[in-house]
Chains A and B, each alone.
Chain A
Amino acid sequence: MKSNKLNFVWKDSRLRSKLLGYHLTDGWIYRSAVYLLLVAIAYVFLYPLLRMLSMTFMSTADLINPEIDWVPQNWSLTNLRVAWSVMDMPGTIFNSLWYSGTLALAQTFVSAMTGFAFARYQFKFKNFWFMMVLLSFVIPVPLVLIPRWMMFITVQNTTGIKLIGTIFPQLMMSIAGQGVYSAILILIFFNFFKMIPVSLDEAARIDGATSWQVFYHIILKMSVPTIATVFLFSFVWNYNESYITSTFVRSAMKLMPLQLSLFDSIFERMSANVPGAPGGQFRLNESFKMAATLITMAPMMIMYLFVQRQFVEGIEKTGITGE
């Protein structure tokens, strides 16, 4: 009897409804479990970045000291300064920004054109070509990289125009819609353009607009947010791309990810020339590497701080998922 009474009290009590809720998902227990899980996973997500930040500001003594785990005892900016000079900094950053910016511009424009063609026109073999767009995403880059490289070498040797080591090979690929993840950009535009009502086009047509005028004055002007999203994605992907770039540019131009991948060897070379450097100070260690990594990431992270909404909502809004 007693337990029954207790049970009755418990069942109607405020505490229960707060802890467990009317539905499972309303209660405190469920909510705090979800928060705990989310925070734990976020910690693992950020762990490499946090380690990187902590190591960047450690002095050499802190790095060796086993007692120091996260917070440096002697904060030092030496690592950052050294990494800054080893990576040949202000120059490299500007190189990288205009390089990926140019490629992203070309890629965005061509993706918009291709997406427009697919969204608005009925041309022959349209479905076949659409399959090809999807397929071109799946084809691994190394497979097509070798003949591309041979082509550019041939053109360079026959015409005498310097191509390898400049932006032109990648710019040509971007203009031809074969840049980094081009298929996804085309899909984003395709899905967005399909949502714009055709009656707008028709109205302009009746007023005597040509296809290009429709494309520019109606479609492009209506989809400025989508263009911004695609440009940002393309910019980030081109900035972070190091495989194709390292094949076509090699070390002719100083770009951020390439400098980072060559960081160890450049550091060795430069530290050998430091006159009268005290023994341990200029030996390569994790702190220098992490400082360089931080510098490489910094531009993109700063950009992300300001335009994170475009990124997070960008993919969702444009619906790659709606096949």
Chain B
Amino acid sequence: MKQRKNRPSRQYLKQQNRAGYMFFMPWLIGFLVFTLFPFIYTIYLSFHKVNLNVLGWTTIFNGIDNYVTAFLRNPDFTPALIQFFLTELIYVPTILIISFILALLLNGKFKFRTVFRIIYFLPVIVISGSVMNQLMSSGNVQVGNVRRIFVYQIIESYSPELADVIVFLFNNFALVLWFTGIPIVLFLSGLQKINTALYEAAQIDGATSWQILWKITMPIIRPIVLVAAVFTVVSLGMFPINPVYGMIQNAIFDTVGGLGVASSYAWIYSLTILLLIAMIYVVLKDHSKDEYVINIRQQQAERQLKQVKRDQRRNKLHGLLLKKAGEKHEEQ
């Protein structure tokens, strides 16, 4: 009887369940129809030849033919995919670092703080595929020419590969900055949530601001870095700086290859993005928590082992004593 009083009644739970699903229903239906089913169906389609005729859609199984088309027959796809992957690898860390630095700078109290914040957030409002295409095609995103800078020439003479990366980054530098809008806001809100007492305590103990940054700010902000990184990968994937995106769309309306080829493109592309997100997750995951848990578990296990051994020893001793006592008893 006592237990039942604390637990919510079955009727209450039932009512909660029903009301919850009532509000949740539109999203659930949409998820099943517009996301989960398409997600699985695209895998199915990518192994089929798809045609539209009088009867509707017909699919004929053709094995991995679509993937062969994607990787071997289409000369543009593989280079575009590799370029996309490299772009993300270069852009995501750059965007994260720049937005973190900007957030740190904006976190202080000074004049015109709001003005700067408004400017840095402006790209989020105006950024769109076609706008970026037009700006890039008219050469307006290139701020200055890196090749003229002396330091660049030194780097180039040592390693041309690194120089290529730098040129790539600087030619689209304005664009890279345009993606920092939302990460800056995320970092800023994270920084403002940090308890200032932590900083004061560290200062009293004689920590420099550099140490405070690495030992206090960074570990606290880490989960936000993960969120911002995932957001950056996803939003970078949605813009025409990546050529694969447009290629998929052209393939949808292409009558020769058809939807089968388009879905194999889409699937390869999505795997690349999911791979990137998995990489980010592995790199930025909070390992310290795991280590902590593992440590505690190890200690527990060791303690248990000790206990078991102690018990065994005691039992042995007990047995011996009993035996001796029995012998004595018999002797008497």
Contact = CB atoms under 8 A, between A and B. Distances in A.
Nearest to B111: A35
A293 B135 contact: yes
Contact of A290 (B122, B134, B237): B134
Contact of B34 (A31, A48, A148, A321): A148
A146 B45 contact: yes
A124 interface: yes
Interface string B17-28: 101111110111
B270 A140 contact: yes
B134 A176 contact: no
A148 B227 contact: no
Given A45-B178, A304-B122, A146 B129 contact: no
B248 interface: yes
B24 A117 contact: yes
Residue from B29, B234, B269 whose CB has the most chain A CB atoms within 10 Å: B234
Interface string B221-265: 001100100100010011000000100110010000001001101
Which of A136, A175, A177: most chain B CB closer than 10 A?
A177
Interface in B14-68: 16-17, 19-24, 26-31, 33-35, 37-39, 41-42, 45, 50, 52, 56-57
Q: Of A139, A142, A247, A289, which is in contact with the most chain B CB atoms at under 10 Å from its CB?
A: A142
B121 interface: yes
Name the residue in B23, B27, B223 with the highest tally of chain A Cβ atoms < 10 Å from its Cβ.
B27
Majority SS at the chain B contact face: helix
A45 B266 contact: no
A323 B231 CA distance: 14
B30 A178 contact: yes
Contacts of B273: 138, 140
Contacts of B108: 25, 34
Interface in A99-151: 110, 113-114, 116-118, 120-124, 126, 129, 132-133, 136-151
Given A31-B110, A240-B127, A323-B223, A44 B177 contact: yes
Contact of A243 (B192, B223, B224, B245): B245
A323 B193 CA distance: 13
Given A42-B116, A123-B20, A260-B134, A301 B126 contact: yes
Given A144-B34, A150-B259, A315 B128 contact: no
Given A31-B110, A243-B245, A321-B227, A122 B20 contact: yes
A301 B125 contact: yes
Nearest to A113: B23
Interface stretch (B151-159, B180-188, B292-300, B324-332): B180-188
B143 interface: yes
Interface string A240-271: 11110011000000000110110100000000
Contact of B128 (A146, A158, A240): A240
A230 interface: no
A41 interface: yes
Contacts of B120: 41-42, 45
A48 to B, nearest CB: 5
Contact of A142 (B13, B185, B270): B270
A113 B168 CA distance: 44
B274 A129 contact: no
Given A139-B270, A175-B26, A315-B186, A48 B230 contact: no
Given A34-B105, A137-B234, A312-B117, 13 more contacts: A24-B209, A46-B122, A110-B26, A122-B20, A123-B16, A129-B24, A129-B28, A140-B266, A142-B266, A143-B39, A144-B34, A289-B137, A297-B126
Interface of A: 24-25, 31, 34-35, 37-38, 41-42, 44-49, 51-52, 55, 110, 113-114, 116-118, 120-124, 126, 129, 132-133, 136-151, 153-154, 157-158, 173, 175-178, 186, 211, 215, 236, 239-243, 246-247, 257-258, 260-261, 263, 286, 289-290, 292-293, 296-297, 300-301, 303-304, 308, 311-312, 315-316, 319-323
Q: Ordered nearest first, which 3 A-B pairs have the shortest CB separation?
A: A176-B30, A123-B20, A121-B20
